[in-house]
Structure 1
Amino acid sequence: METTKRGGIPLYVWMLVGFLAGLGGGLFVNLNGLEVVPWVMEIIQAVGQIFLRLLFMLVLPLLFSALAVGVAEMGDLKSLGRVGLKTLLFTILVSAIAVAVGLVMVNWFQPGAGVDPALARQLLADGAEGASAIVGNAPQSIEAGQFFLDMIPSNVVTAASENQILPVMVFALIFGIGMVMAKSPSTDRLQETLQGLFEVMMKLINLVIKLAPVAIAALMFNLAAVFGWDLLVRLGAYAAVALGAMAIHMFVVYPLLVWIFGGMNPLRFASGVREPFVVAFSTASSNATLPIALKAAEEKLKLPRRISRFVLTVGATANQNGTALFEGVTVLFLAQFFGVDLSLTQQLIVMLVCILGGIGTAGVPAGSLPVIALILTMVGVPAEGIGLVLGVDRFLDMCRTTLNVTGDLVAATVVSRGESDEIVPPDLPEPVAPPAD
């Protein structure tokens, strides 16, 4: 997360202030049985809705460009061969494991369950109509493989116009692979164009996120006025489950991957990544930690330089295990909070979108926010619930950034197994014998 400042104060501090102000005002109204003047409540709700609609407006071009460029940056498979392919497959596999861990934890502990169903239905009715108008609801069941067939768009433009996020992301994934396979000066320029689109979307997201403190205050006021103290109880349970899922992935999944697939003692690995671990936690920024991670990979873990530099540089944006896990946990928690029973199919949709979204999450404050908002509306959950989690997002962001950076080093360790720094320079002309005298 970037430490964007307003008036010399970091943005996350303003977000916390907005969270507390909205929570305090909403609890005061709830506990005293007060009624807010209708036109005032309409303005408060409109502020939150404007913020959400701005996110929805930007999310499709952001995700398409991020995912396509993220895959394309895996490198030229013709020259990198198995290294690029191993990196891509490992990224998808570990992201899938991360999301699965999160979904199992949320289903097991049910941190969002127990809220008054009548209140949940009230707010659900207020937000569901607007949400479904932005993004269509997910299918409730799989019939004759229709779900998997629907993942492949017959017309990607139509899919985009109808805000069918999963088909568009699948197309972006295939498009990125195509750019890797068809490497040429023309595709390089195309990749630069998509990179430009990505940077524009990131800039616009940055501008929208600056509205977050006010939007969070509005969203939290609405939620706290309806749910009262139940809000704080469920929020604490959510944070505990999210941290528990991250801990399992960090201290169980990663050591097993390093040991089994990387051929390295997990204790040696843990000793070698201490410095990037601390920097990632303190800065909450994968990009800021990248130089420290590169140094640790080469000097502490003794990984081949060309492999570690490739995997870690790409992984800073394309290997977001912690972010994917966080998105899955957040969506299911809010579904439970609002009493929306997600079918196995819908949870599969959440998992797939989180995996794909993790390959190109924007490196901006609350960069996963657009993905979460869109997934919520896909499964019929009011996107206003985002305000509930943003107040504790800073600490969770520090934790998931640490998970992301450690995951990059795990990937570098696994991909480096059997590799070396000895490469044959590509595209060099054959030596020409000097003319005979």
Structure 2
Amino acid sequence: MLVGIAAGTVAGLLANQLAGGSEGLQWGVTNLTLPVGRIFIRLLLMLVVPLLFAALVMGVCELDMKQLGRLGVRTIGYTVVFSAIAVALGLVLVNLIRPGDGFNPEALQAAQKNPLALKAAPPPSSASPVGFLVAMVPDNPLRAAADGDMIGLIVFSLLFGAGLAVTQTPATLRLRETIQGLYDVMMRLIDGVLRLAPIGVAALLFSVTADLGAGILKNIAAYVFVVVLGLGLHMFGVYSLAVRFLGGRNPLGFFRDVRLAMVTAFSTASSNATLPTALKVAEENLQLPNHVSRFVLTAGSAMNQNGTALFEGVTVLFIAQVYGVQLSMGDQMVVMFICVLAGIGTAGVPAGSLPVIMMILGLFKIPVEGIGLILGVDRFLDMCRTTLNVTGDLAAAVYVARGESPSSASPESPAEPSV
């Protein structure tokens, strides 16, 4: 990946300096590097619908419905509120700092005129709040998926997962195994596609830097600064307040106790891989009741993705600024809403948020190939946002555990967490 990033960036900058604007360079970009990069993007887009459906359904139906009562309401409420805060914080920062400004305005026109441009998903059918709420519920989920109506697909997937969770028959158990199998296959395909990332990233970065020159590097550095600043403010600001006032604990002591889980999350960039360490930290260092830590952390590894939601919102607005696509306040509210919902289904694995970002880009007619701008720095940002995700799960467990006691665990609670 590093070789691909370096090769694509350096070659693109040299081409821009030596042959910028020439017909030969434009032919090479249009007929060679851009198609290779677009094929890489299309391979990822191809997997979005089945991956999103399977991840959302499994994320909901794997919740222990017997304990969903008090614990579930508090956990889901915390997840929605703090995910919304995270996305709102990211949107405020990206609007204030505007890391994507300063690009050549012809970049958007070139992307729109290019015959290889990807087909954008349709925009929301109504701008009014009532119309938007009505449009959220699809009359035909298959048509919603085919038309790119991802909001409708998300709503259907959440309802389907809830129905699957409360329907316990031999047939639904087999159906659950089938959907889990679909999810496993999609993740294996995603892993295979990402193995081609060095070639795809090199082609995308060459195409972008050959057209836009060295100015892109300044904007990417500003983008990284905005994401890291937002993650840092949310972790050490919002979570400190949550732990102190909702969990009744000293924030300094909390961060000291969870540092092992934070380091593991940063090094693996995977919420799922960090789950065993997070459970150990919650039960041994934070001294939380077992049934609370197992329920909240297991659900949170799939659903409580504050860092991912913030990252997705910032990335969408950054790429929109790069290509000169103006998003109204209403559009940004829709972006925030989708990011919060999609956080429930974002895979807790490295690069798991990229398909969701591409879906949102298509929804608002933002050139999807702009994802190539951030692929070079995504690994580092993935490590940072995963650290925030895991820390948020532990902060949620501290909040939910307040007022609980070990004796309140259900006698039927499993000895080991279900993953």
Q: Normalised by the shorter chain, which TM-score bucket?
A: over 0.9
Larger Rg: 1
Unmatched tracts of structure 2, length 5 or more: 414-419
Are 2:278 and 2:394, in contact at CA under 8 Å, matched by a contact in 1?
yes
Are 1:99 and 1:325, in contact at CA under 8 Å, matched by a contact in 2?
yes
1:274-289 equivalences in 2 (<5 Å): 274-289=259-274
Q: State, as a whole percentage, how many aligned pairs show the same letter.
A: 52
1:86: which partner in 2? 74
**Aligned to 2:255, which of 270, 273, 280?**
270
Deviations 1:92-125 (CA, angstroms, capped at 9, x unpaired)? 2221111111111111111101222234433344
Are 1:320 and 1:358, in contact at CA under 8 Å, matched by a contact in 2?
yes
Matched, 1:32 2:21: no
Report the TM-score when normalising by structure 1: 0.89
| AA of the residue aligned to 1:384 | E
Aligned-pair Cα RMSD in Å? 2.0
Are 1:96 and 1:351, in contact at CA under 8 Å, matched by a contact in 2?
yes
SS of 1:83's equivalent?
helix
Matched, 1:73 2:58: no
Deviations 1:301-329 (CA, angstroms, capped at 9, x unpaired)? 11001110121122222221111111111
2:89: which partner in 1? 101
* Mapped partners of 1:134, 1:123: distance in 2: 12
* Mapped partners of 2:337, 2:227: distance in 1: 19
2:231: which partner in 1? 246
Tell me by how many angstroms 1:191 deviates.
Answer: 2.2
1:327-366 equivalences in 2 (<5 Å): 327-366=312-351
Report the TM-score when normalising by structure 2: 0.92
Are 2:19 and 2:25, in contact at CA under 8 Å, matched by a contact in 1?
no
| Distance change >3 Å, CA 372–CA 80, structure 1 → 2 | closer
SS of 2:238's equivalent?
helix
Matched, 1:110 2:68: no
**Aligned to 1:326, which of 311, 315, 322?**
311
Tell me by how many angstroms 1:186 deviates.
Answer: 3.9
SS of 2:406's equivalent?
coil
Tell me by how many angstroms 1:171 deviates.
Answer: 1.0
1:151: which partner in 2? 136
Matched, 1:374 2:359: yes
SS of 2:248's equivalent?
coil
Tell me by how many angstroms 1:369 deviates.
Answer: 1.1
1:131-280 equivalences in 2 (<5 Å): 131=118, 133-138=119-124, 142-143=127-128, 145-280=130-265
Are 1:206 and 1:365, in contact at CA under 8 Å, matched by a contact in 2?
no
* Mapped partners of 1:374, 1:144: distance in 2: 22
Tell me by how many angstroms 1:356 deviates.
Answer: 1.9
| Distance change >3 Å, CA 339–CA 92, structure 1 → 2 | same
Are 1:209 and 1:365, in contact at CA under 8 Å, matched by a contact in 2?
no
* Mapped partners of 1:122, 1:79: distance in 2: 54
Tell me by how many angstroms 1:248 deviates.
Answer: 0.8
2:117: which partner in 1? 130
Are 1:327 and 1:354, in contact at CA under 8 Å, matched by a contact in 2?
yes
| AA of the residue aligned to 1:314 | A
Tell me by how many angstroms 1:181 deviates.
Answer: 3.3
How many pairs were matched up?
A: 409
Are 1:304 and 1:421, in contact at CA under 8 Å, matched by a contact in 2?
yes
| AA of the residue aligned to 2:16 | N
Tell me by how many angstroms 1:39 deviates.
Answer: 5.2
